[in-house]
Amino acid sequence: MTATQPVHLVRPAPVHVHPSSERWSVEAIEALFALPFNDLIFRAQQVHREHFDANAVQRSTLLSIKTGGCPEDCAYCPQSVHHDTGVEADKLMDVATVRQAAQAAAAAGATRFCMGAAWREPKDRDIEKVVELVREVKSLGLEACCTLGMLSKPQAQALKEAGVDYYNHNLDTSPEAYGRIISTRVYEERLQTLAHVRDAGMNVCCGGIVGMGESRRERAGLVAQLANLDPHPESVPINELVQVEGTPLAGSEKLDPFEFVRTIAVARITMPTAYVRLSAGRQEMGDAIQALCFLAGANSIFYGDKLLTTGNPDVERDEALFERLGLKSA
């Protein structure tokens, strides 16, 4: 994003929280981040064990079914037409190719198959084609997840009727930091799509990206937005920025690995029944940091050698790490 591009930053619509639930303030979440590391991890592990098997990790595979050519200007994304990253725009994959990829994912132990398309918002004819792909994935006994950009209410309903279990639409960052990262879509539009997904009866997969130059308070602001959704998302992917040459965020200062672990722990405490997923950035993490993330409450990973256009640890490396840690598939 250049200095000449307009920055549209709006305050998000009020988030309604069920009266019986605790609303997490940004200040309360900042206080969690500020706990001594051992105390924070201990508290997160306690919450985790109340709701999940502490040694089980859910595995999802992500496939880019339509790569590149996105009109959005997200500063982290190599698929944006605004950035010269060498990513070519492709057409939507055909049914046979997606089925083959889904079969391979199932054979490797994945239980959820996520399909991502680089659209700002799909057209109705695009949804019709995606519906075919979803039915193929479901026929293999896998959970189906889609991330296609903004959805209208009828589009969300069509995906639900096709069998989509989860719809992913990340908030990316806090409202305060959002305008530094994206100018082509406002925060309210993201929240509106999440409302359409929830109203259609699909599970919500929603998280964000850390390491984009945000402050700790802004990280706390992202977690607050997620935790105060009513209800909080069933799946919360926590991504660490993967720096891609040609994007505005290439060359950014790397996030302290322990700060990433803290973010996992805070997400676990504030969203106790969510699957907290280690997503982008795992390839750059050492095994020890990943182990700390599982200790902090992460219980889902993206599984396979690629996430849309960026690398991911291969299946053999993950299997070896799981064996060393005594982790099993959820």
Backbone angles phi, psi at 46, to 5 degrees: -60, -45
Residue 19 is predicted with a pLDDT of: 35
Q: Kindly report which listed range (75-84, 113-122, 183-192, 248-257) carries the lowest average pLDDT score.
A: 75-84
Q: Which of 75-84, 138-147, 213-222 has the lowest mean pLDDT?
A: 75-84
- Going by pLDDT thresholds of 50, 70 and 90, the confidence category of residue 4 is very low
Where does the pLDDT of residue 1 fall: very low under 50, low under 70, confident under 90, or very high at 90 and above?
very low
Q: Are 108 and 328 spatial neighbours (Cβ–Cβ below 8 Å)?
A: no
- Name the nearest CA neighbour of 264 among 40, 22, 112, 77: 40
Of 184 and 305, the structure prediction assigns the larger pLDDT to 184
Q: What is the pLDDT of residue 12?
A: 37
**Residues with catalytic roles:** 70, 74, 77, 114, 145, 205, 277
Return the higher-pLDDT residue of 2 and 297.
297
Cβ neighbours of 60 (radius 10 Å): 26
Tell me which of 120 and 218 has the higher pLDDT. Answer: 218
Confidence of residue 50 (pLDDT cuts 50, 70, 90): very high
Q: Which two tokens stand for residue 182?
A: 């994206």
Q: What does the alpha-carbon distance between residue 8 and residue 162 come to, in Å, rounded to a whole number?
A: 34
- CA–CA gap between residue 235 and residue 143 (Å, rounded): 13
Q: How many helices (H) and strands (E) does the chain have?
A: 11, 12
Q: Please name which of 159, 154, 179, 166 lies closest in space to residue 300, comparing C-alpha atoms.
A: 166
Q: For residues 45 and 142, what is the distance between their CA atoms, to the nearest angstrom? A: 29
Instruction: Give residue 208's region: left, alpha or beta (phi > 0; psi -120 to 50).
Output: beta
Q: What is the pLDDT of residue 22?
A: 55
Look at residue 56 and give its three-state secondary structure.
Answer: strand
